[in-house]
Amino acid sequence: MTQSRLVQIVDLLLLCLLLIGASAASAQGAWPSRPITIVVGFSAGGTTDIITRLISDELRKGLGQPVIIENKPGAGGNIGADIVAKARPDGYTLLMGSVGPLAINASLYKRMPYDNLKDLAPITLVAHVPNMLVVNPRTVPAQTFAEFVALVKANPAKYFYASTGSGTSSHLSGVLLNLQASLDLTHVPYKGAVALNDVLSGESVQCMFATIPSAIQLVRGGKLRALAVTSLARSGGVPEVPTVAESGFPGFDASSWFGLVGPAGLPREIAHKIQGEVARILKDPGLREKFIQQGADPIGNTPEEFGKYMRDETAKWAKIVKASGAQAD
């Protein structure tokens, strides 16, 4: 082979490498170029699903591509989260996660199929949704949170609270209240939001720490009485309902939250592009009002801020799970 021929081959190889690099850069810069899937680890109609659908249409408009919602319920949200943790980190498979699969489950399950802090890339905290202590007004005479605490103290082991499952925030909110107020509320776990049905009947359970979106219409209709919310600040959806923290237990905070994450390795520029779109959407007055009417407080923080929040929440809930003795496996 002549030297000139060798030079030609080398030049051709260099040109091919440049074209491949340019093509990859172009594809990256063109994101998104096809539909985006948001996995929801819970059934349709639940709070996670509601939050996702509130932003999905506007996200489609902003990104210029269809946004497909896939409900993959099971194992407290772990099935959906694991699907995303093992997906390609290209921005086309995302997870709308909640406090369970993104924080609580790390200490609740003996065997986790993914690491919530290593295998998932934080994008943005979409909404903060306090739990709300609701009681059946026919079986619980208390009109205020203070009266409720006094009633339960005077009748140890008589009152039962429902939850959407062992280890969920609706369960652990009760654990935290028992610890801080020295109460003896008895926990009764259910599978999902069906728990509210028994609270409405008042026969086997009399109260529940329910997410505001799931209970707000029942409270407004007079079927349930709201005594307190579990966030540090009052909720915009029910501003008339005091917090547990302001009702004699400073620092009490046991709320649900929902955020977007992708697989670990998600390019930083894609994460920030999605976050920017979500933040823009959550600033729209009409959409903010929809969130607030559902009892959800819109956030839209940065990937870095959300990452720190996930780490802090994982550590906080680990202590509460340990105190409760709850295990999901």
Which residue ranges form the domains of the chain, and what is each CATH number?
34-129+256-324 (3.40.190.150), 131-247 (3.40.190.10)
- Structure confidence at residue 12 (pLDDT): 56
pLDDT at 18 over 70: no
Asked whether the predicted pLDDT for residue 127 surpasses 50, the reply is: yes
Residue with tokens 């329910």: 210
Section 274-278 average pLDDT: 98
Interhelix angle 47-63/285-293, rounded to 10 degrees, is 170
CA distances from 125 to 45, 274, 275, 323 (A): 20, 12, 9, 27
| Whole-prediction pTM | 0.81
Dist CA 258 CA 50 (whole Å): 11
- Ranges 108-112, 118-122, 168-172, 228-232: which has the least confidence: 168-172
The SS3 of residue 183 is: coil
Which single residue is written with the structure tokens 């529940």?
208
Query: Tokens 């369970």, residue?
Result: 100
Confidence of residue 1 (pLDDT cuts 50, 70, 90): low
Q: Encode pLDDT of 206-218 as tens digits.
A: 999 998 888 999 9
Instruction: Name the one residue in this structure whose structure tokens are 């992708």.
Output: 262
**For residue 16, what pLDDT band results from cuts at 50, 70 and 90?**
very low
Percent helix, strand and coil across the chain, each to the nearest 5: 45, 20, 35
| Structure confidence at residue 193 as a pLDDT band (50, 70, 90) | confident
Rounded to whole angstroms, the Cα distance separating 48 from 42 reads 7
* pLDDT at residue number 24: 44
Burial letters 189-207, b for 16+ CB under 10 A, else e: ebeebebbebbbebeebbb
> With contact defined as beta carbons under 8 Å apart, do 308 and 117 qualify?
no
| Cα–Cα distance measured from residue 105 to residue 108, given in angstroms and rounded to the nearest whole number | 5
Please give the average per-residue pLDDT across 57-66, as a whole number: 96
Exposure class string for 280-312: b at 16+ Cβ within 10 A, else e: ebbeeeebbeebbebbbbbbbbbbeebbebbee
Sign of CA dihedral 320, 323, 326, 327: positive
Lowest mean pLDDT: which of 9-18, 48-57, 277-286?
9-18
Q: Identify the band that residue 29 occupies on the pLDDT scale cut at 50, 70 and 90.
A: low
Res 122 pLDDT > 70: yes
User: What pLDDT, in 10s, does the model give residues 216-256?
Assistant: 999 999 999 999 999 999 998 899 999 999 999 999 999 88
Q: What is the pLDDT of residue 255?
A: 86
For residue 98, give the nearest of 194, 188, 173, 169 by alpha carbon. Answer: 169
**Residue with the larger pLDDT of the pair 41 and 27:** 41
* Res 294: pLDDT: 82
With CA atoms as reference, report the closest residue to 163 among 202, 184, 189, 196: 189
**In what side-by-side order are the strands of the sheet with 93-98?**
67-71, 36-40, 93-98, 256-263, 120-129, 297-298
User: Which pLDDT score is estimated for 329?
Assistant: 62
DSSP character at residue 185: P
By the 8 A CB rule, do 261 and 123 touch? yes
Query: What pLDDT is recorded for position 263?
Result: 98
Average pLDDT over residues 128-139: 95
The percent of residues in the chain predicted with pLDDT above 90, rounded, is 72
pLDDT of residue 191: 79
pLDDT confidence bin for 150, thresholds 50/70/90: very high
Partners of residue 125 on adjacent β-strands: 259
What was the pLDDT predicted at 2?
Answer: 63
Q: What angle do CA 263, 171, 155 make, to 5 degrees?
A: 170
27 pLDDT exceeds 50? no
- Rounded CA Rg of the chain: 23
Q: In degrees, to the nearest 5, what angle opens at C-alpha 39 toward C-alphas 36 and 43?
A: 140
